[in-house]
Structure 1
Amino acid sequence: MSREIQLLATGMRTLVEDLGRAGYAHLGVPTAGAADRAVHRLAQRLVGNDESSAGLECLLGGLALRARCHTIVAVTGAPAAVTIDGSAVASARPHALAPGQVLEVGEPTHGLLVYVALAGGVDVAPALGSRSRDTLSGIGPDAVQPDQVLRLGEVDPASARSLQPDAWPLAAAAAPGEGLVRLDATWGPRDDWFTPAARETLASTTWTVRDDSDRVGTRLAGPALERVDGGAGELASEGMVRGAVQVTRAGLPVVFGVDHPTTGGYPVVAVLDPRSCDRLAQCRPGDQVVIRPRTLPGSRAPVKQAGLK
């Protein structure tokens, strides 16, 4: 029997994602991969896969699939109702699927992205060593469509695990919470392009996620950040990373996501920690965040940070 699943519904957008294609920035190719790395890794561990295996990243739920083989499935990420043949099952737990059974994922109550892992991983053709879709460069498999059939990789019997709950590594990967989201960061490398008042504003403002955000970058609405030169200076393009808080000419932050361009010409005032990048990836338009840059030893004193403790 072929190891396959059939997509019945794919919601707003469902992408095949793994942990991305590192090492091609010099060719202008982003890493891409799962936008929320922690919950992707957890889903893969739950079904006995290597964390780098490919799974499904579903925007706002609405996914349904039918198994064509015996497999194991796990759903993580934004909290949503999950059913198998209409019966409710728990998220962040492994579940057996028999041929013909249907898994359905509802719309999340909050958060943005739901991850589905299947034993053996989604086995689509890799591009530059990764099975991930990169929405900026167009590399990798297209978004999956209803009625599409996806092949699953083979499961190594020697590494197959039982379905006993205490045998599974339920390591920490919290579902996105509701309310104000704290994003930890490090100042720089171009924070000295901004006035002390602008740095204080960055760290004390409650920012709102804009509706023109995507996997390339999250745009934040709030007060403009003033540059020391009044915005007249030019910065040569330099390398960018996931989590870079780039400030546009208008003075507003854009936080680069997994499909970010590899270079940029606006100054980067701070860089988010990896787990904070995951948190931000789960934020919907209208959600509110605070950015809390810390000061490294030997650098300038931290600015006053009001509000969240």
Structure 2
Amino acid sequence: MTDRALAVVRAGALTTVQDTGRPGHAHLGVPRSGALDGPAAALANRLVGNAPEAAVLETTLSGVAVRPRSTVTAAVTGAPCAVTVEGRPVAWGGPVRVPAGALLDIGPARSGVRSYVAFSGGIAVDPVLGSRSTDLLSGLGPAPLTDGTVLPLGAPIGLHARVDTAPQPSPPTELVLHVTLGPRDDWFTPEAVRTFTSRTYQVSPASNRIGLRTQGPALERAVPGELPSEGMVLGAIQVPPDGRPVVFLADHPTTGGYPVIAVVRARDLPAAAQAVPGTPVRFIAVRPR
């Protein structure tokens, strides 16, 4: 096996390979997938000299530990965490040289949910439909990491950034999501729509890469029954029978039969990737442009 590879020593609660996803296949029933916090993944790639679309590791809450078989440059972004090489503290948010055989340990998130780990050359697993992303809903792409997994690395294409650390936004203490109402807001009572845009919800522990679930006041329906299944988009806010909004994230289904009360503005979604359970959530209605 090539020396351009790394072995997983500690896989963590959920660590997956992610890139910019596989857009353009919704008509085949394939969601986009990709890194939930796209700006954090792109920054990690920039720090190690990769193209923005190179594949990285996305960790969830508890981090990951890997041992590269050749010397690599790595960078960790997203959720702040301790980063060590052979037990020695190194930079979070900056390029780090990891010698061949050394243990790179990304610790649990100190705040936020997901950290991103880029390696010079990128994770070079075989692409599926043009992407190396793990899609938890459809099962496309590589399986979530397990202890002992070996991942190939590509050849470096550029020099790492000449910075010590790069500024990054903090995980949200309150998640504010600007939304455009519709297309099915008329399936809810006027009072339910007012509740949706004026009351505070909380992030549910049941949230995952498919959707950010919320806890809070239930939204009353004005129209009984269910819709025929219709197309879903990234950021769609579907309301299941319990009346609590669910914000669809990268691994969302491409169709669904529950009414969509609104759609989140795309640039607000990366913050949703870092909102820990219990984080207050507010939905702010804006006019479509």
When the two structures are superposed, what TM-score results if normalisation uses the length of structure 1?
0.88
The residue that corresponds to 1:46 in the other structure is 47
- Residue 194 of structure 1 deviates from its aligned partner by 2.2
Structure 1 spans left out of the alignment, 5+ residues? 298-309
Tell me which residue corresponds to 2:169. 174
More moved, 121-130 vs 192-201: 192-201
Aligned counterparts of 2:92 and 2:181: Cα–Cα separation in 1: 36
**CA positional deviation for 1:173:** 4.5
The aligned counterpart of 2:88 is 87
C-alpha change, 1:295 and 1:195, in structure 2 (3 Å) is farther
Question: 3-state SS of the aligned residue for 1:278?
Answer: helix
Tell me how far 1:54 sits from its aligned partner.
0.5
How many angstroms apart in 2 are the aligned matches of 1:162 and 1:126?
Answer: 24
SS at match of 2:108: coil
User: Structure 2 vs 1, CA of residues 111 and 22 (structure 1 numbering), >3 Å: closer, same or farther?
Assistant: same
Matched residue, 1:291: 283
CA contact (8 A) 1:184 1:294 kept: yes
Alignment of 1:229-240 (within 5 A): 229=223, 232-240=224-232
1:219 aligned partner = 213
| Partner residue in 2 for 1:164 | 162
Which residue number corresponds to residue 192 of structure 2? 198
Question: Do 1:61 and 1:114's aligned partners in 2 also have CA atoms closer than 8 Å?
Answer: no
State the one-letter code of the partner of 1:248. P
Match of 1:302 in 2: none
Give the whole-Å Cα distance in 2 for the aligned partners of 1:275 and 1:113.
Answer: 17
Residue 59 of structure 2 aligns to a residue whose secondary structure is strand
Deviations 1:102-144 (A, max 9, x none): 2111111221111100011001011111111111111110111
Q: CA deviation at 1:62?
A: 3.2
Work out whether residues 38 and 173 of structure 1, in 8 Å CA contact, stay in contact via their aligned partners in 2: no
Matched, 1:228 2:222: yes
2:73–2:160 Cα contact (<8 Å) kept? no
Of 206-215 and 68-77, more deviation after overlay is shown by: 206-215
TM-score between both structures, scaled by the size of structure 2: 0.94
Q: Which amino acid aligns with 2:192?
A: A
Q: Select between 73-82 and 187-196 the one with higher mean Cα deviation.
A: 187-196
Note if contact 1:22-1:31 (Cα within 8 Å) is conserved in structure 2. yes
Aligned pairs (5 A) from 1:84-123: 84-123=85-124
The DSSP-based 3-state class of the residue aligned with 1:228 is coil
1:162 Cα shift?
A: 4.9
1:33-67 per-residue CA deviation (whole Å, 9 max, x = no partner) reads 11111111111111111111101011113311112
Quote the Cα distance in structure 2 between the aligned partners of 1:239 and 1:260.
11
- CA shift, 1:240, in A, is 0.6
Percent identity between the two aligned chains: 47
SS in structure 1 opposite 2:109?
coil
Please tell me whether the aligned partners of residues 38 and 275 of structure 1 are also in contact (alpha carbons under 8 angstroms): no
In the alignment, the residues of structure 1 paired with residue 117 and residue 25 of structure 2 have an alpha-carbon distance, to the nearest angstrom, of 27
CA distance in 1, matches of 2:263, 2:4: 42
Cα deviation for residue 196 of structure 1 reads 2.4
1:175 is displaced (CA, Å) by 3.6
Give the counterpart letter for 2:14 in structure 1.
R
SS at match of 2:238: strand
| One-letter amino acid of the counterpart of residue 115, structure 1 | Y
User: Structure 2, unaligned stretches of length 5 or more?
Assistant: none
> In the TM superposition, what is the alpha-carbon distance from 1:259 to its structure 2 partner?
0.6
* Match 1:274 to one of 262, 266, 271: 266
What secondary structure does 1:39 align onto?
A: helix
Distance 1:162 1:195 in 2: 54
Amino acid at match of 2:280: Q
Letter in 2 for 1:161: L
Whichever residue aligns with residue 191 of structure 1, its letter is D
Query: 1:259 & 1:208 partners in 2: Cα distance?
Result: 21
- CA pair 162-48 structure 1, distance change in 2 beyond 3 A: closer
